[in-house]
Amino acid sequence: MGKGMKQMQQRLKLVDCVIEVHDARIPLSGRNPNFQYSVSSLKPHILVLNKKDLSDPKYNSEIEKRLEQDKVSHVLYTNCKDQGCKGVRQLIPLATKLISSSQRYNRSEEKDYCMMVIGVPNVGKSSLINTLRNRHLHKSNAAHVGAVAGITRSVQNRIKVNEDPLIYLMDTPGVLTPNVPDVESGMRLALCACLQDHLVGEQTIADYLLYLMNKEQNFKYVEHLGVEQPSDHITSVLAQAAFKMRKTQKVRNLEGGYVIKPDLTLAASHFIKLFRTGVFGPTMLDKDRLF
Asked if pLDDT for residue 103 goes beyond 90, the answer is no
Of residues 155 and 275, which shows the higher confidence score? 275
What pLDDT was estimated at residue 35? 65
Residues 280-289 pLDDT 10s: 999 999 999 9
Average pLDDT over residues 243-256: 90
Q: Is 186 annotated as a binding residue?
A: no
Q: Is the pLDDT of residue 40 over 90?
A: no
- Which range among 14-23, 47-56, 138-147, 196-205 shows the weakest confidence by mean pLDDT? 138-147
Name the CATH superfamily housing domain 2-170. Answer: P-loop containing nucleotide triphosphate hydrolases (3.40.50.300)
Instruction: State yes or no: 70 annotated in a binding site.
Output: no
126 annotated as ligand-binding: yes
**Which residues are within 8 A (CB) of 173 and not within 5 positions of it... i.e. 6 or more apart?**
1, 3, 4, 7, 121, 150, 152, 153, 154, 155
Q: Give the CA angle between residues 172, 177, 131 to the nearest 5°.
A: 30
29 labeled part of a ligand binding site:
no
Report H helices in 57-154. Answer: 60-68, 86-100, 125-137
**pLDDT at residue 153, as a whole number:** 45
Percent of the chain with pLDDT over 70: 85
Bond preceding residue 173 cis, omega within 30 of 0: no
Residue 96 pLDDT greater than 60, yes or no: yes
174 labelled ligand-binding: yes
Instruction: Tell me which of 38-52, 136-150, 161-175, 245-259 is least confident.
Output: 136-150
H or E stretch covering 236: helix 234-245
Mean pLDDT of all residues belonging to the chain: 87
127 among annotated binding-site residues: yes
Position 255 scores a pLDDT of 85
196-214 per-position pLDDT tens digit: 999 999 999 999 999 999 9
Q: Are 268 and 246 in contact (CB under 8 A)?
A: no
Report the range of poorest mean pLDDT among 15-24, 57-66, 144-153: 144-153
Residues of CATH 3.40.50.300 domain(s) within the chain?
2-170
Is 251 part of any known ligand binding site? Answer: no
**pLDDT (0 to 100) of residue 14:** 83
Decide if pLDDT at 271 tops 80: yes
**CA-derived radius of gyration, the chain:** 21
Using CA atoms, how far apart are residues 278 and 21, in angstroms rounded to an integer? Answer: 19
